[in-house]
Structure formats: C-alpha cells, structure tokens
Amino acid sequence: MDFFAYKDDSLMCEESDLTAIAEAVGTPFYCYSERTILRHLRVFQEAFALAPHLICYSVKANSNLAILNLLRHAGSGFDIVSGGELERVKRVGCDPEKVVFSGVGKTEAEIRAALEFGVRMFNVESAPELRRINEIAGEMGKVAPIALRVNPDVDAKTHPYISTGLKRNKFGIPHEQALELYREAAQMPNIRVRGLDCHIGSQLTQVTPFVDALKRVKGLLEEIAALGIEITDLDLGGGLGIPYEENDNPPSPQELAQALLTELGDQAVTVLLEPGRAIVGNAGILVARVEYVKETPDRDFIITDAGMNDLMRPTLYKAYHGVLPVTRHFDRDEVNADVVGPICETGDYFAQDRYVPKFREGELLAVRSAGAYGFVMSGNYNSRPKVAEVLVRGDQYAVARQRETLDQLLNNDVMDPQFNE
Ligand SMILES: Cc1ncc(COP(=O)(O)O)c(C=O)c1O
Ligand SMILES: N[C@@H](CCCC[NH3+])C(=O)O
C-alpha cells in the first residue's frame, strides 16, 4: 500500500485494504502511509545534504508514537513544544542531541524536564524565559544550551492564524532586541549560546518569505559574531506548504534547500529545519462512513460519521481538503453538496458547496491531506471518543492508536457524591 506521493495525485491505498481496516477498527479512523512519511523525510535529508544539517520533525504536526519511532529510526531529530511532546520523544528513544525545544510559554516543570533530558537547545522566545532558564539551570547545576528565536517581521503570506513571523505575532524576540539579549545571554553563568532560530509560519507556498527571513537573520549572525559570541546552529524552522488542491504547487524541499543554502553562502553553521506538515500532511487520510445522503432542493448533504471534532482544519481555517469515495466508480455523477459531520454546529463540515462524486449511504469516504494537524487537534466535543489511528506498511497495517472507549472518555469526570442522592 502506498498513497499520496508528494505532488502526485495517485489514489490512496487499495480499496479492499481500506475496507478491511474499516471493518477491523471501525470508522472513522486516520490512516497513514509509512512509506510516504519516510520518503518525505528522505527528500528533506537529501535536499540539505550539501550542508551540515539536522532535520528536526515538528512533533506537533502528528505526534503518534509509531510515527515518531519510524522517523527516529530514519535519523530524524525532533522539534518539541511541551512536556508532553518531550515525553513522546523520550519514549521512542531519541538522542537528546537531536531535540530542540520551542514555544512561548515553557513552564518551570517543562524547563527542568528538558534540562534533565539534555536537549540540544532551547529555542528561547522572550527575555523573561531566558532568565528563567538561567535560574533553573543554575539550581540544577547545569548549563543550558540556547538559541534565541528571532522574529524577523517578514510576511509569510499564509493564513493569519498560522503566521508567526510578524512583529504583531506573539512569537520570538523582536529583531531589534535580539542583539542586546544575545549580549546578556553570553554573560549568564548557566547559559551557553549555541544557536539562532527563526520560524515565520506554516503552509508557506513560496520560497521568498523563507529567503527574506534568512536575509534578516544573516545580518544578525554577523553582528553576534562581532561580539565574540559563537553561533554553531542556525535553525530555520518549518513551514513548507503542501498541495491540498489539485493545482496547488508549493516549492519542493529541494527548491527550498537550494534557495536557502545559496543565500547562506559559506557560513560555518549546522542548518536545522523543523518541517511538520511537509512530512506527514499528505501521508494521511481520514476515513469516514457515509451515514446519510440528504437531498434538498438547494443541495445534497453527505452526512458522515466523522465530524469537526476529528478534523477541525476546514472549520478553523476554511482549509480545503479533498473528499473522495474509497470505492472508485469512474461513471459516477457529480453533485453539488456539503460534506458534513454529525455535530451540532453549522461549521461542522469537510467540504462546502462543492462538486463531489455522488456518494451512497453506507460507503467509505476519504478526506485527503489529513496526516498533519488532524488527529492531534481532535477533541471530544459532543462526547465523541477520539478515533483510531492506523499505520500501513506495504500490504500490512498496524493499529497505531486504539479508538478511545466511552469509559476512557468519561472516567476523568468527578461527580460530587453530595449531589448523588
Ligand atoms: C516553531 C515551529 N517549528 C515548526 C513548525 C512546523 O510547521 P510546519 O508543520 O508548517 O512545517 C511550527 C508550526 O508552525 C512551529 O511553530
Ligand atoms: N494547526 C495549523 C498549523 C499550525 C502550525 C503550528 N505552529 C494547521 O492545521 O494548519
């Protein structure tokens, strides 16, 4: 089984396989292709092979342990943003030297846990965070390796909710304050300056904003060097977009690497990248069953057993996801329809006012490009248990996460016995 080659519209895995998986694990479920994930990682590794580099897969995109384990064995490092993600990379036995810790709100407990583990570096997002890390490292008798995440004030030209590199965004240290903070960091007893970091947003569909950001931080690298501070790691973040629609044509990792390495010239640094979506986005689908087809004078409603709680990207960002029947009949008519879920919200949809193949009740439907920011952003709204995740390898598959049971869903609620009369 293989599906969703990069920029390739070849259909997903064999229909009979998906049907068998649906019978075994129930619908809805997420289904990921091991081969596609590994191919995407390899494309990045090869694209940056001309320079010393480390690809640190961004765990937030899809944090399933089976996927992290796969990537770890293929040489990937990881970009984490919480104590929970730290625990995940520990569970798959990742080398601490391959882990970078980002995020604007690191708690004291998270900093301690990361120092204990020995992460490669903290990507520090504010002056108070830097001071907190210095203090905690001192208490623990450790020296914390850090990079400052610099906000270069560059427009990533993406959805405003996932743009991070403008000065009005909460992320990173303003470019004009960075040099002063490097000076301060270099004098802190429990801090070792190791890198410079920058990440301007997600689902970027052009190379130019990446290059513009690099130009901004390159100037800074020279100023930092002039202070006698040595930067050995340059973390350029993640953000490379993927094709969601037929005609989307984002740059490839090779195009990105070529542009960045050319701009970087002969700087003697290790380049770190934090791709998430580009590795897993088009390696996964959400499989649902069509419960009802409701025909109205205005349009058809294809009502599935998956909802916005399982995949919230369409309603949150008005994001486009392809919708296909798992069983292919080339003579199907197309109808104008909304593909919706069972949840009591008008925003509960996967496709709106779109021409889609005519679906039949009871059949399986696949929502495409759902491998990144799909399951990880799912929730329990309407008391719906979280769905299963399945990883396919060749013609085999493994359940990578069991469907949540109703007991698991309800068990953390506590009723006050006083009101149990
Ligand atoms: C700091 C950081 N690194 C990496 C990523 C991964 O982004 P993407 O999945 O778009 O590659 C993100 C998300 O935008 C991020 O905030
Ligand atoms: N959740 C976003 C991406 C966020 C990137 C994280 N910094 C999406 O689904 O597109």
Tell how far the Cα of 45 is from the centroid of ligand 1, in angstroms: 17
pLDDT of residue 16: 56
Q: Evaluate whether residue 370 is within a structural domain.
A: yes
Indicate the burial class of 125 (C-beta count within 10 angstroms; 0-12, 13-18, 19 or more): buried
| Shared domain check, 286 and 241 | no
Residues 279, 256: Cα–Cα separation, whole Å: 14
What residue ranges in 125-200 does DSSP mark as E strands? Answer: 144-151, 173-174, 191-197
| Shared domain check, 331 and 212 | no
Whole-prediction pTM value?
0.95
For the CA of 159, the nearest ligand: 2
Task: Please provide residue 191's backbone torsions phi and psi, each rounded to the nearest 5 degrees.
Answer: -120, 135
What residue ranges in 42-138 does DSSP mark as E strands? Answer: 53-58, 77-80, 99-101, 121-124
Identify the active-site residue in 13, 31, 198, 344: 344
Number of domains in the chain: 2
The runs of H, that is alpha helices, within 311-379 are 313-317
Cα separations in angstroms, 259 against 18, 48, 213, 256 = 39, 11, 12, 5
pLDDT of residue 125: 96
**Which CATH number covers residue 313?**
2.40.37.10
The single residue listed with the structure tokens 């903290």 is: 122
Tell how far the Cα of 319 is from the centroid of ligand 2, in angstroms: 11
Residue 168, both tokens = 């009005």
| Shared domain check, 227 and 118 | yes
Q: Evaluate whether residue 336 is within a structural domain.
A: yes
Residues lining ligand 1, CB < 6 A?
Answer: 58, 61, 79, 102, 164, 199, 202-203, 237-240, 274-278, 372
User: Domain end: 279, 300, 319, which one?
Assistant: 279
| Shared domain check, 146 and 249 | yes
**Which CATH number covers residue 117?**
3.20.20.10
| Shared domain check, 328 and 268 | no
Residues 272, 97: Cα–Cα separation, whole Å: 12
Percent of the chain topping pLDDT 70: 95
Binding-site residue ranges for pyridoxal 5'-phosphate = 239, 274-277, 373
Tell how far the Cα of 260 is from the centroid of ligand 1, in angstroms: 17
| Shared domain check, 102 and 198 | yes
- Atom from ligand 2 closest to the CA of residue 316: 9
Q: Evaluate whether residue 69 is within a structural domain.
A: yes
| Shared domain check, 124 and 272 | yes
Residues lining ligand 2, CB < 6 A?
Answer: 60, 162, 202-203, 313, 317, 373
For the CA of 377, the nearest ligand: 2
For residue 102, the SS3 value is coil
- Ranges of residues in the chain with a pLDDT under 50 are 1-12
For residue 179, the SS3 value is helix
Q: From 102, 274, 317, give the residue whose CB has the most ligand 1 atoms within 8 Å, as the site to mutate.
A: 274
Quick: pLDDT tens for 210-248.
Answer: 999 999 999 999 999 999 999 999 999 999 999 999 899
Range of the domain at 102: 34-279
| Shared domain check, 66 and 146 | yes
Tell how far the Cα of 162 is from the centroid of ligand 2, in angstroms: 6
Binding-site residue ranges = 239, 274-277, 313, 317, 345, 373
| Shared domain check, 265 and 314 | no
- Atom from ligand 2 closest to the CA of residue 203: 10
User: Is 344 among the catalytic positions?
Assistant: yes
Residues 102, 276: Cα–Cα separation, whole Å: 14
Tell how far the Cα of 91 is from the centroid of ligand 2, in angstroms: 24
**Ligand 2 atom 4 nearest Cα:** 162
Residues 225, 152: Cα–Cα separation, whole Å: 18
| Shared domain check, 176 and 310 | no
| Shared domain check, 187 and 296 | no
For residue 25, the SS3 value is helix
Q: Which residues contact 146 (CB under 8 A, 6 or more apart)?
A: 121, 122, 123, 124, 130, 133, 185, 191, 192, 193, 194, 195
Residue 93, both tokens = 């036995």
Residues 298, 131: Cα–Cα separation, whole Å: 60
User: Domain end: 248, 279, 310, which one?
Assistant: 279
Q: Evaluate whether residue 14 is within a structural domain.
A: no
| Shared domain check, 301 and 267 | no
Buried b (16+ CB within 10 A) or exposed e, 76-91: bbbbbbbbebbebbee
Indicate the burial class of 333 (C-beta count within 10 angstroms; 0-12, 13-18, 19 or more): exposed
User: Domain end: 261, 279, 297, which one?
Assistant: 279
266 CA to centre of own chain = 30
Parallel, antiparallel or unpaired: strands 334-340 and 349-357: antiparallel
